Structure 1
């Protein structure tokens, strides 16, 4: 080859390689018609930079509010009403804990956090118009914000939510989960149902995204402000979480003596410090409020009276890599890899339900369970009196100790916030094989309905699984109506007999057009479904999915029905009002008929009430993220993020999926390259300074 031709060949080859290489590594966000970002990147840094950018695009003001509150500076930024939350953050020591976590976190997680925060800050810098003036004070964001926000949510809303009195605000917060084995699947493929039930606001909102790292597709959702995917799937496997019946926080009531408290009958001094909280007044002026912080050997003091204090002890404070474990889970390709991620034991809460392409299904009672001295659940499920050092635990059970089931003979696994023992029916886990404090023994009507739908179907299709997920049939109605009708027939109540006609004609569902649901629901609220003494036959672990049964006091049941009839006829003039006329979705200006109800009714489609007026009741939470996935040669998935994937006030995706929720429909998850391309609304390409829209 002549020299000049050789030189030309080299230059052309170099330019061709450079262009190809540049094209290959170009990170982009393809936004689909539901506001879901499909992010393609070749490096972890650019992937999470893009996810941070995308979260800010959809939730900028919400993220700033959440991060500002998690810093313990809400009162300084937004006023006196945030003071209680700030005091909690500082009392629990999250500020110092976040510094400790940053020092000890895995280098890979530090890269993820740094990239995620850089992407969020870049969006805020380039799009100041998207941010309300009152929220700009939170900027710039830092990696410490991610740590403080994640610990705030996980510790105060989940691990210690009950101990801090927060769960009472969201009494039906929970989840459903199914894993179907090939032996029970009509297609011969394993299937999975993902279905958390959380409030439809603030720190409980999910963010949906599709991540493609070097050609590996990962899809799912995480809580707003968290990087990565916490409930998700790839082409080989998927998992979901449900709140488990785990007790991994304890509140201790300690008697005061002198300037200290009693421990084993002897006075012990508090570890004392203080924190100054700035408070912004309505006129814009700042004042300082100093709060005393007391700490016992049990943990920080969260309440104090004249003679006693309450101290809180929580697991997980020494687990700084929680979000890294989720990243390892979504990157797994086999069950062994997935289980290795679980054995990191960084995630202190939540059951895990799993299914994969090879046909494996798996359930784990996941979390950090303290090793305790007293064996009984009831001993720890309370405010623990006195100051015995023997009650202070320090170690937790290892992965090997936790209840788990893989590939059960019945071909399915379920969890609807019931204890692990009823993940299969018949039960394959024996509670006597585990410490008594591991989990209680119970199975309420929602998990009973959950199990019943699977028990009655020997060959489950994908479409049937979708129908089961969306089912509003009431297990409690099936259990109790026959006994209620007998009680009505034995009475001379004309009001009750009129009600019986409506209830006999009712389809026993909570669909929007169901007539009789309002009557039954109103009666059931008075009857008190949760009270075991209301039943002739109490719940029995030997018959976990068919008890309780029978009405212990038929006369009382009829009297409550009479009272319900009078109330409904006075208010509505009728007993057969359609459920959706009364129960409504009222979210971001949308007003739609609702379906579902709180899970106490034995409904799998949970939509629990969050408010009401004289004429209507409104959905406040329930089905949040929904995913139904089949792991065949290609992944088949239907999903829904009930309230939409954005909260920015000008976003078209703020509540845009509620129409589907109202109609009991899911949508396709666009997972493959072809699906994403055909449903892309616009594309943003990464530059040296954020992202720009591709023309």
Structure 2
């Protein structure tokens, strides 16, 4: 017998031919053409979806309504990654201490580790405040649309259907099989997850600092502590941006003047974690006549975040805009919970939260924490950023995404846009993009860039008026972050008439650009998506103008410019899809192209270098290795690892490693020329030689012999190189005890899309593969493909899907 989910009694998915015979009497064929799908009348709470999986486990979910679409998607996702979502929901429901212990840690989505108890206090404060519930009660666009609500309702039901059919104790993933923390999910759980996603570049980054904030204790002499002394400089990495958050990305939007066929093309290359809650999941979602979109989502999200539909493709890169501002409060002497506002005294309020924690003997105990809040936001204790709660000042944290539950609807509206203008309108209507830029192109041959996100309404005039004291001035100068005067109402966030809510910049103030040739971004600010048309005159809180671009940004621009000029060694001018794929994975190391020859000359004339510790390092073995290096990070490249360590140290030398400084009139080609007379540059090369020797890595070791991912005991070599090297195919690693480099972040979902007269043609590779379950057949297959620079042919039309030899079909009804 075959059940309604397309399984036989042994639970095995049937191949297509057998399924077609078994379901011949069903009301809908297993792979119906999109234009002949009959409408199925469903009762309240009913769902009906078809999940068709093609090669590499990619689900193509077909349904007649959004609730059923979510149902099929939730079911498919649970089959592959149930443990990931279950774990995320433990986090957002403040239950990590209950199940895993209060002192244990878990990997933070943006790098580093978080202590379970602190995490639980943070998320419990959100739950107790009813923040998500209040936003759910608002009408659209401040609250979710009815379509989005139906999508979420179905997604939760589909996830639960799989869990119910399989049973917790029979889950195929050993990581959560039989776990007490795996349970049916609710729609509210999912909205907590979407709220968590909104906060990643703001409150979540400062989770420890928000939990650590408490009134200052008296010093032994009975006084209260003073503010920290103001240093000469401050590391901007203590505040969130693409590097400090551990996230990044590259993207091209190519217009008709940049492509061979005159239609749009898009390259998507997000740099996201390879493990954990921010993995991508690949899917194709169709409701005939309403939605037909293919791409990837993050864990638990039932909309496509990066992908394409019939006439539009898009991707995202992490924005430089700040999504928050601290406010410096003037405290009443002797009363650190009382502050001045417009000359009046105000008292902070408190919120005490309680979570359950598992003790060593397995029993549960209650743990409590008290948060302090001003009317401007919760208090912050962040010594790394010079913001401490002392006897004179305190810092309140205001998060522009604190009222943003619009993220799902924003992406869902983008999924249904048909061109770049409709995409712009979708973003302007919902204003729910939390922390990324968007790059896109359409079938009409238009390319588009925008930083159309949620940003506090802080103008440059605002900065001149409200950033006055020493610590805020230093933070603004060094990191570009406004720390506003919290004692005056005229320093509160402003508003725009076209903003979806008060306090944020309206769409008309946000940088965006539509062109017929191209736009690019690699995590630098909005200033230079195309050097022919720089974007200027925007508020500083969005990012810097006329400032140094990263090597990765410069390489991305040069790759496009070289293709259009026909100087990159490829045939002709303008892009074909195959050339776009080649450019993506060429593994050029731009710092090597700029500086290698000078470094070799330095090496040859300085056989021994005096190191900072007073010892000498022999550079002679490094010279021939660097001279023969192919300036790439391919699997067989010899010398890239040596260069990787050298450049990481060279860029940190006092004053920088360049002789020719940055010129804002030539931002793509400056700075350049290695300063070989700088003694620290030679020492950087000595450090590289010493480091590889201490790690027992040969100076001429190939990249693929040392850099790779182990999956089920098999070492899969991975090409690519680091951000510091200026490598487009960026791979960030952790050093393992065996002195191999394991990718933890970087190129994740790579997609190249070209529009043609016959519709979109797309190629992709999900570098870490579709499933996080080690027992899944889709756990390592695409990782091997990525290693070999192979791509998946994305099947978009009904004919393409039906013709896949690997096709299996699951019918779901409830």
TM-score (norm 2): 0.77
Residues 308-323 of structure 1: matches in 2 within 5 Å? 309-323=394-408
How far did 1:205 drift? 0.6
CA distance in 2, matches of 1:650, 1:571: 33
Task: Give yes or no for the alignment of 1:51 onto 2:97.
Answer: no
| 643, 647, 668: which one aligns with 1:520 | 643
| 783, 789, 798: which one aligns with 1:664 | 789
Partner SS, residue 421 of structure 1: coil
| 188, 193, 202: which one aligns with 1:149 | 193
Per mean C-alpha deviation after superposition, the further-off stretch among 549-558 and 512-521 is 549-558
Residue of structure 2 equivalent to 1:289 = 367
CA distance 1:41–1:532, change in 2 (3 Å): farther
- Any conservation in 1 of the 2:124–2:354 contact (CA below 8 Å)? no
Residue of structure 1 equivalent to 2:123 = 89
| 412, 419, 426: which one aligns with 1:341 | 426
Partner SS, residue 366 of structure 1: coil
Residues 223-242 of structure 1: matches in 2 within 5 Å? 223-242=298-317
Unaligned runs of 5+ in 2: 1-24, 30-35, 41-47, 105-115, 208-237, 382-387, 468-475, 495-502, 565-573, 610-617
Cα deviation 1:32-91 (Å, max 9, x = unaligned)? 231111111111111111111111111111111101111112212332122121112234
Aligned residues: 668
Task: Give yes or no for the alignment of 1:507 onto 2:630.
Answer: yes
How far did 1:609 drift? 0.8
Residue of structure 1 equivalent to 2:452 = 366
Per mean C-alpha deviation after superposition, the further-off stretch among 71-80 and 254-263 is 254-263
Residue of structure 2 equivalent to 1:6 = none
CA distance in 1, matches of 2:693, 2:90: 48
Per mean C-alpha deviation after superposition, the further-off stretch among 255-264 and 30-39 is 255-264
Q: Return the structure number with greater helix share.
A: 1
Partner SS, residue 352 of structure 2: strand
Task: Give yes or no for the alignment of 1:449 onto 2:555.
Answer: yes
Query: What RMSD in Å do the two structures reach over aligned CA positions?
Result: 2.7
| 482, 493, 498: which one aligns with 1:393 | 493
- Any conservation in 2 of the 1:221–1:232 contact (CA below 8 Å)? yes
CA distance 1:267–1:379, change in 2 (3 Å): farther
Partner SS, residue 601 of structure 1: coil
Per mean C-alpha deviation after superposition, the further-off stretch among 497-506 and 35-44 is 497-506
Residues 199-598 of structure 1: matches in 2 within 5 Å? 199-214=273-288, 216-252=291-327, 254=329, 257=332, 258-263=335-340, 267-303=345-381, 307=391, 309-344=394-429, 345-372=431-458, 373-374=462-463, 378=477, 381-382=480-481, 384=483, 387-389=486-488, 390-394=490-494, 395-408=503-516, 411-426=517-532, 428-431=533-536, 433-440=537-544, 441-458=547-564, 459-493=574-608, 495-528=618-651, 533-552=656-675, 553-569=677-693, 571-572=695-696, 574-598=698-722
Per mean C-alpha deviation after superposition, the further-off stretch among 364-373 and 43-52 is 364-373
| 146, 149, 152: which one aligns with 1:110 | 149
How far did 1:406 drift? 0.6
Per mean C-alpha deviation after superposition, the further-off stretch among 93-102 and 366-375 is 93-102
CA distance 1:592–1:530, change in 2 (3 Å): farther
CA distance in 2, matches of 1:512, 1:640: 17
Cα deviation 1:140-188 (Å, max 9, x = unaligned)? 3111111111111220x22445545696996541111001111121222
Partner SS, residue 31 of structure 1: strand
Per mean C-alpha deviation after superposition, the further-off stretch among 444-453 and 113-122 is 113-122
Cα deviation 1:427-462 (Å, max 9, x = unaligned)? x1242x222333113310001010001111122221
How far did 1:266 drift? 6.2
CA distance in 2, matches of 1:300, 1:413: 39
CA distance 1:260–1:396, change in 2 (3 Å): same
CA distance in 1, matches of 2:510, 2:347: 37
Partner SS, residue 422 of structure 1: coil
CA distance in 2, matches of 1:622, 1:407: 28
Partner SS, residue 724 of structure 2: helix
Task: Give yes or no for the alignment of 1:64 onto 2:103.
Answer: no
Residue of structure 2 equivalent to 1:140 = 184
Unaligned runs of 5+ in 1: 1-15, 689-695
- Any conservation in 2 of the 1:234–1:330 contact (CA below 8 Å)? yes
CA distance in 1, matches of 2:187, 2:778: 28
Residue of structure 2 equivalent to 1:8 = none
- Any conservation in 2 of the 1:611–1:619 contact (CA below 8 Å)? no
Partner SS, residue 368 of structure 2: strand
- Any conservation in 1 of the 2:325–2:456 contact (CA below 8 Å)? no
Partner SS, residue 300 of structure 1: strand
How far did 1:569 drift? 4.0
CA distance 1:189–1:530, change in 2 (3 Å): farther
CA distance in 2, matches of 1:539, 1:642: 35
Task: Give yes or no for the alignment of 1:190 onto 2:315.
Answer: no
Per mean C-alpha deviation after superposition, the further-off stretch among 349-358 and 314-323 is 314-323
- Any conservation in 2 of the 1:255–1:262 contact (CA below 8 Å)? yes
Per mean C-alpha deviation after superposition, the further-off stretch among 601-610 and 523-532 is 523-532
- Any conservation in 1 of the 2:597–2:627 contact (CA below 8 Å)? no
TM-score (norm 1): 0.90
Cα deviation 1:241-289 (Å, max 9, x = unaligned)? 1101111212345465415143457653111121111112232211001
How far did 1:535 drift? 2.2
CA distance 1:316–1:615, change in 2 (3 Å): closer
How far did 1:17 drift? 13
- Any conservation in 1 of the 2:97–2:117 contact (CA below 8 Å)? yes
